[in-house]
């Protein structure tokens, strides 16, 4: 308002023509002193100079110039949004699936840093989704391409890179049972359950890496850390650079072979190739299986 008049038409408008129907993309205030700025998508019929204090979904900005240039609706959003959900969609997913949910209590809660160790190689979409009154608001979507070399053995909050002298084998288990009925020449094959799970072996040299090179001084402690992780009775995610993603459990002994004492950059270390057997125990793309095995904290999209 300027000297009791508005600039957007109306009975007390400072201009006589109707406002433009074109969309406004930029607003500039200059060469004057302004007390307050308010912009809304809701038309105001007879403006009496009173600017609403409460934000609505039609409010674009409201700057009171109280020692700053803030004009956003952070406080309004904090009061309105109950939680933020992070959703993921891979090439094998028909729709987005929730992998993380965070309640909102204060402004700082909107900042989320999530490292997804369970994503497969290839294109992946993520969605940042506010939850308002129990329902999901508009999706804010970003796309990434996951790329890496070799294999990774992953838990929810950490992963181990398997790529030094790595060897991988797998078997598709069909497991039919042969039954010979009385009076028949040929047997009948019986298959119980949904057949077709994978099992296999993984062999690798376990060494920790810094940004530049392998840390051979920690070869034993790192190998013991991996063994402890493998034998904690919890399923893992085994993934490779081709896009395969498996939910597996250790299914056999851990063996060591090809023990040699070598020198790297003037320091000796034990070269040990470790081998373990694994069996597929669930669907790595199923939210229910991931939740039941402690790999994510929410099962909102359980099928």
The domain segmentation of the chain, as residue ranges, is 1-72, 81-146, 151-292
- How would you classify the pairing of strands 151-154 and 59-63? unpaired
Give the predicted TM-score (pTM) of the model: 0.71
Instruction: Measure the CA–CA gap between 299 and 98, rounded to whole angstroms.
Output: 7
Distance between first and last Cα of the chain? 56
- Band (66; pLDDT cuts 50, 70, 90): confident
CB distance 18 to 9 below 8 Å: yes
Instruction: Measure the CA–CA gap between 144 and 139, rounded to whole angstroms.
Output: 16
CATH number of 151-292: 2.40.30
Q: What is the average pLDDT across 262-278? A: 78
Q: Which residue has the higher pLDDT, 184 or 127?
A: 127
Q: What's residue 187's pLDDT?
A: 86
Query: pLDDT, tens digit, for every residue of 173-191?
Result: 887 888 888 888 888 888 7
Q: What's residue 20's pLDDT?
A: 64
Query: Is residue 32 helix, strand or coil?
Result: coil
Q: How far is CA 113 from the centre of its chain?
A: 10
Residue 111 main-chain phi, psi, to 5 deg: -85, 115
Instruction: Measure the CA–CA gap between 210 and 201, rounded to whole angstroms.
Output: 27
- Band (265; pLDDT cuts 50, 70, 90): low
- Band (3; pLDDT cuts 50, 70, 90): very low
Which DSSP helix (H) or strand (E) runs through 87? strand 81-89
Closest to 162 in 3D by CA, of 204, 115, 195: 204
């Amino acid at each position: 308002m300027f000297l009791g008049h508005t600039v957007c038409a109306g009975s007390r408008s400072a201009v006589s023509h109707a406002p433009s129907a074109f969309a406004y993309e930029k607003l500039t205030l200059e060469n004057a002193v302004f007390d307050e700025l308010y912009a809304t998508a809701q038309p105001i019929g007879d403006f009496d100079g009173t600017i609403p204090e409460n934000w609505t979904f039609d409010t674009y900005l409201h700057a009171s110039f109280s020692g700053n240039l803030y004009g956003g609706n952070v406080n309004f959003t904090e009061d309105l949004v109950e939680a933020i959900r992070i959703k993921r969609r891979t090439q094998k997913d028909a729709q987005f699936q929730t992998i993380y949910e965070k309640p909102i209590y204060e402004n700082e809660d909107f900042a989320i840093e999530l490292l997804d160790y369970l994503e497969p190689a290839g294109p992946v979409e993520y969605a940042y989704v506010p939850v308002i009154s129990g329902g999901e608001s508009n999706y804010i979507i970003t796309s990434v391409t996951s790329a890496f070399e070799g294999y990774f053995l992953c838990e929810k909050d950490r992963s181990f890179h398997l790529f030094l002298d790595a060897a991988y084998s797998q078997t598709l288990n069909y497991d039919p049972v042969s039954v010979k009925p009385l009076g028949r020449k040929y047997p009948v094959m019986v298959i119980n359950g949904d057949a077709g799970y994978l099992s296999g072996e993984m062999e690798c040299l376990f060494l920790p890496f810094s940004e530049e090179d392998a840390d051979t001084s920690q070869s034993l402690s790192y190998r013991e850390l991996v063994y402890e992780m493998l034998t904690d009775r919890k399923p893992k995610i085994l993934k490779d650079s081709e896009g395969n993603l498996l939910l597996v459990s250790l299914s056999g002994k851990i063996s060591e072979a090809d023990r040699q004492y070598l020198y790297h950059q003037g320091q000796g270390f034990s070269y040990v190739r470790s081998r373990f057997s694994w069996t597929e125990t669930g669907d790595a793309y199923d939210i229910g299986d991931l939740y039941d095995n402690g790999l994510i904290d929410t099962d909102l999209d359980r099928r």
